[in-house]
Structures are given as structure tokens and as C-alpha cells.
Structure 1
Amino acid sequence: METIEVVVARIGKPHGLRGEVTVDVRTDEPERRFVRGAQLRAEAPKGSAFPHRRLTVERARWHQQTLLLTFAELADRTAAETARGVVLHATIGLEDTPDDPDEYYDHQLIGLAAHDLDGTHLGTVEGLLHGGAQDLLVIRALDRRETLVPFVAALVPEVDLAGGRVVIADRPGLVAPLPDED
């Protein structure tokens, strides 16, 4: 089975004295990624002396709007403080799909052909930008320009993974302007 790594969180400040930390969640599936026993690759910030390459989830709980995690390797507040800024990665199979049929992993979308509502080829999905308000599809247009399309149902009404395409609605900027005729 082929696998890839996806970023699922970034560790914030310690919470309490027993090694619990706050995390900035970067996954739509925290209940799936932060189960007891889950092994996550730890990517420390440049210049950090954080000693662990992997962290094992012992406990996950929500406190108001914040996810708190306890890791086997972080026994106390001092150890938790050294983890601040560490980015956590989960390994998933390429054939894995999100629980919600209207959600997609980045790797499922990258490489899909982008077409308009009439079926005209517009370009290729080259990536995604994850923002606070919404995600953006990065489309490489046929003239090689990079264009951003908000990844919302009104503008991307169809994602056809089996057919290898996405449908883009109402994005005239994706079509290269015709050269002026004299």
C-alpha cells in the first residue's frame, strides 16, 4: 500500500503541569487522527533542540474550542514547552478517503484536469492553499498562468475523482484572453 504524509497539527503552548499541549488543528478529521496510540511524525522548527522524531497520542480532549493532546513522550510541562512549534504529520494510504464524501485530501485533487461548465479544458489542479475562510485550488491555466479558485460548491460544482477532473464555474480569468486582431 502506497502512503503519504499529511500535516495534521502544530503544537502550541503547554496546558497544565502534566505534559498536555494545545494544538492548532490542521485536519478536518481530528477524531480520526488523534486517537490513543496514534503515531505522529514530529517536525521540529529550525534550530529547535526537540529530541523526538515521533510522538504517541495518549489522550485527546477538547477544552472549549481548543484541542488538548497528551503524548507518551512528554511527561511534564517542561517537556511540553520544548514541543512548542512542532508540526505533526500523519501517514495515510493513498486509497484512504475522508469520512465525508464531499471532502478530499490534497493528493486526490492535485493533477486533476480543470474544465468549465461546457467541458472546455482550462488547466490542471497543481495544489491547494488552506486559508482561514476557505481553501483555494491552485490551477495552472493552459497559458501557464497560476490562478486561484475558491474551493466552494458554487465555483467548483463537481469533483470527479474517477474521471480525473474538476468543473470550475464562473471563472473567466482562467481562460486566456484572445490576442487583439488588427
Structure 2
Amino acid sequence: MADTVPPKTLLLGVIIGAQGIRGEVKVKAFTGDPEAIGDYGPLRDAQGQRSFKLKVHRLAKGDVVVASIRGVGDRNAAEALKGTELYVARDALPQPEDGEFYYTDLVGLKVATTAGQDLGEISAVHNYGAGDMLEVKTASGRSAMVPFTDDAVPEVDIAGGRVVVEPAFWLGEPGEVDAAVGEDRRADEA
């Protein structure tokens, strides 16, 4: 589904089921405050064809909220929405604080080592529970992972369209950074 999402949109949540008989839905929110998912204005589906105005009623459990959607008045209509991803336009969100980034702003940035060797481009950002990881698509078409930490990625330049990666944290093919690591070693020895 994510392939059809228009550029510069952010996934804020997904409808995971119906709640009760009056058309309320359960929404797994990906916002910092789950109950704020309705504060961003109308949300759109992945294709950008349908609009959903959410009114959040309560927090259900963890990051799941119970909400009503304008025009959805019964359980059958609510159940039909199960699995619908809810997106918002990037420009509807506030600017992130210093040192914080929206995933969508990172995707597409060029990746280079501290020695200037081009490694590829960020194709996705993942979090498998232990922290954010940048997925980098290399020139050879392979994907490699980089932990998105200050030590591993000392520089993020959104305006300049690039990030800098410490070679020691590169989780790709060893040959892709051997030259950069060799240059760093020679500079340290000099």
C-alpha cells in the first residue's frame, strides 16, 4: 500500500477495527500523543481519494484510540474501514525540533561516509524496537542498514539533501566502505 502514497505525506495511524454498534472505530495512532491524531485536520487514505474527519473520544489501550468518523454511523460501515491507513500532508505538521526529523524528510537523502565516499540513498526508516534504522539503497541495488544514532550518523542536512555516516556503523557490504575506512586509518597514522 505504501507504494501508492503521494510524496510528502505521513502515516499517522491505521483503523484496526470497529468499536460498538454506533460506527466508532479503533485507531492505532503513530502520533506522539495518540489522542492528538484528530487534531491534524482531515486525514486521507493511502490513495488520497477518501477523506476522514476523526473525533477522538477516548484512549483505549496504549496507542489505540476510539474515534468516530463523520459519515460512518453503524458497525458495518466501521468494519469496512478496517486496515485503512490514515495519512496527512507533510505541510500540515509543525516543524520538528532541532535534532528531530520526520521519516518522510529523511527518505531520499544521499548517504556518504565521513571521508566523503558515496554509499547510496535512504530508501526507508525502520524501527524494530531497538531504535531507528536507516535503510540505504546502494548503487549496486542492495540495501544496507545504519543505526540512526548521533554516533553512527553525526550529520543530517535536510536542506543539503544528505546524511553523513561513520564507516564503523555501516551494516552493508564490507567492500563498499573499505576505501573510506582505509583513508581514515591513513589520516590517523599521519
SS for the counterpart of 2:176 is coil
Structure 2 spans left out of the alignment, 5+ residues: 1-6, 180-190
Aligned residue runs from structure 1 range 34-113, under 5 A: 34-35=38-39, 38-43=41-46, 53-65=50-62, 66-93=64-91, 98-113=95-110
Offset from partner CA, 1:59-92 (integer Å, 9 cap, x none): 3532231222221122232221111111112122
RMSD, aligned α-carbons: 3.2
2:11 pairs with 1:11: no
Contact 1:97–1:105 (Cα < 8 Å) also in 2: no
Q: Going by fraction, where is helix more abundant, 1 or 2?
A: 2
Structure 1 spans left out of the alignment, 5+ residues: 45-51
SS for the counterpart of 1:130 is strand
2:36 pairs with 1:21: no
Contact 1:14–1:80 (Cα < 8 Å) also in 2: yes
Task: Using the TM superposition, give the Cα deviation of residue 43 of structure 1 relative to its aligned residue in structure 2, in angstroms.
Answer: 4.4
| Match 1:156 to one of 133, 147, 153 | 153
Offset from partner CA, 1:27-57 (integer Å, 9 cap, x none): 4565654227x2111349xxxxxxx822111
Runs of 4+ in structure 1 over 6 Å off: none
What's the TM-score once normalised by structure 1's chain length? Answer: 0.72
Between Structure 1 and Structure 2, how many residues are aligned? 167
Q: Residues of 2 paired with 1:115 and 1:4: CA distance?
A: 23
Q: Percent identity?
A: 27
Contact 1:7–1:26 (Cα < 8 Å) also in 2: yes
| Match 1:126 to one of 102, 122, 125 | 122
Give the direction of change, closer, same or farther, for the CA distance of 1:142–1:19 in structure 2 (3 Å limit). same
Task: Using the TM superposition, give the Cα deviation of residue 146 of structure 1 relative to its aligned residue in structure 2, in angstroms.
Answer: 2.3
Task: Using the TM superposition, give the Cα deviation of residue 140 of structure 1 relative to its aligned residue in structure 2, in angstroms.
Answer: 2.9
